[in-house]
C-alpha cells in the first residue's frame, strides 16, 4: 500500500511569488490535513479537508489556501510569498472518522529567497 | 488554545541506556499521540493514547498517559542508535478530535554508540 506522497520534495521561490504543493493520501483515506513546520514555531496546523470540504482551519492568513479533489488528493497554495513562509510543509491523511492516527508524507521543503 | 510542553528539549545518551521524555499539556488530554521524525522528513507514528492510565508498548518503546496530571511519558529501554531522532507529542481537543493536532516543540534524541 503506497504511503502519503507529497510533491515536489524541494522548492525555491522568491518573495511575492505563489506556490502550489500537492499531496496524494493513502488509498481510501478521505481526510487530508496540512501542517507547517519551522524551527521557531514548530509544527502548526494549517487546515484539514474532508470529502472536498474544509473541515478545520488553523490561524494562518488568507494567503494560505487549499482544496481537495474528488479522488481525495489535495493541494495547498500560498500566494504573495514572504521570507517567513520558508518551512517544511507536511500533509497527513486519515480516514477522517474520529480519533485516529495520522499518516504523514515526507514533506515539501519550501525556501523563499 | 492547548499547549504542550516537552522535556527535555534535547537528550544525549549512551547506547544501551534507558531514557524518558515527558509531555505536559495545559488542558485536559483526550487524545495523545507520539511521533518520531528524522530531521527534514515526515513524522512516523509511534503510539496513540486515549484513556487515563493507558499504557502501550512497541518493541522497546513504552508510552503512558496520566490523565490527572495531563501528562504523557515516553520511555525507551536499552536505547540504540536507530532510536535517534526528534520525538514529538501531539494532542487533540474534545471538540476537534482527529486531524487538528497541537504539537510540542519536540525532543532531540542522540544515541552515541
Measured between CB atoms, does A54 come within 8 Å of chain B? no
Residue in A closest to B34 by C-alpha? A101
- Our CA angle for A7, A13, A108, nearest 5°, is 25
Beta-carbon separation of B45 and A98 below 8 A: no
Rounded CA gap, A103 and A22, in Å?
15
Question: B81-92, pLDDT tens digit by residue?
Answer: 999 999 999 998
Question: CA torsion B4→A6→A94→A53, rounded to 10°?
Answer: 100
Q: How confident is the model at residue B95 (pLDDT cuts 50, 70, 90)?
A: low
Q: What is the mean pLDDT of chain B?
A: 90
Nearest to residue A42, comparing CAs of A88, A3, A105? A88
What would the grid cell of residue A82 be? Answer: 514572504
- Is the predicted pLDDT of residue B52 greater than 90, yes or no? no
Nearest to residue B40, comparing CAs of A59, A6, A57? A6
Each residue's pLDDT tens digit in chain A (113 positions)? 689 999 999 999 999 999 999 999 999 999 999 999 999 889 999 999 999 999 889 999 999 999 999 999 999 999 999 999 999 999 999 998 877 889 999 999 999 99
Q: How confident is the model at residue B97 (pLDDT cuts 50, 70, 90)?
A: low
Measured between CB atoms, does B92 come within 8 Å of chain A? yes
Q: How confident is the model at residue B96 (pLDDT cuts 50, 70, 90)?
A: low
pLDDT for residue B94:
59
Residue in B closest to A107 by C-alpha? B42
What would the grid cell of residue A23 be? Answer: 499531496
Question: B15-51, pLDDT tens digit by residue?
Answer: 999 999 999 998 887 789 999 999 888 999 999 998 7
Nearest to residue A86, comparing CAs of A52, A58, A109? A109
- Please tell me whether residue A84 adopts helix, strand or coil conformation: helix
In total, the C-beta contacts within 8 angstroms joining chain A to chain B are 69
Amino acid at each position: 500500500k503506497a504511503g502519503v506522497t507529497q510533491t515536489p520534495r524541494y522548492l525555491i521561490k522568491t518573495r511575492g511569488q505563489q506556490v502550489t504543493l500537492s499531496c496524494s493520501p493513502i488509498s481510501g483515506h478521505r481526510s487530508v490535513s496540512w501542517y507547517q513546520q519551522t524551527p521557531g514555531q514548530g509544527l502548526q496546523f494549517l487546515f484539514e479537508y474532508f470529502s472536498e470540504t474544509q473541515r478545520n482551519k488553523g490561524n494562518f492568513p488568507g494567503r494560505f489556501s487549499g482544496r481537495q479533489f474528488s479522488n481525495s488528493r489535495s493541494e495547498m497554495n500560498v500566494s504573495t510569498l514572504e521570507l517567513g513562509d520558508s518551512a517544511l510543509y507536511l500533509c497527513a491523511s486519515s480516514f477522517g472518522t474520529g480519533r485516529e492516527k495520522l499518516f504523514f508524507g515526507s514533506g515539501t521543503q519550501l525556501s523563499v529567497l | 488554545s492547548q499547549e504542550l510542553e516537552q522535556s527535555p528539549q534535547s537528550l544525549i545518551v549512551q547506547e544501551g541506556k534507558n531514557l524518558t521524555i515527558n509531555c505536559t499539556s495545559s488542558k485536559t488530554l483526550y487524545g495523545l499521540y507520539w511521533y518520531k521524525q528524522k530531521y527534514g522528513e515526515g513524522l512516523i507514528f509511534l503510539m496513540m493514547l486515549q484513556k487515563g492510565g493507558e499504557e502501550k508498548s512497541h518493541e522497546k518503546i513504552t508510552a503512558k498517559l496520566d490523565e490527572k496530571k495531563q501528562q504523557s511519558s515516553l520511555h525507551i529501554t536499552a536505547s540504540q542508535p536507530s532510536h535517534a531522532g526528534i520525538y514529538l507529542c501531539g494532542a487533540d481537543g474534545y471538540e476537534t478530535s482527529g486531524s487538528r493536532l497541537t504539537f510540542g516543540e519536540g525532543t532531540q534524541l542522540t544515541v552515541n554508540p
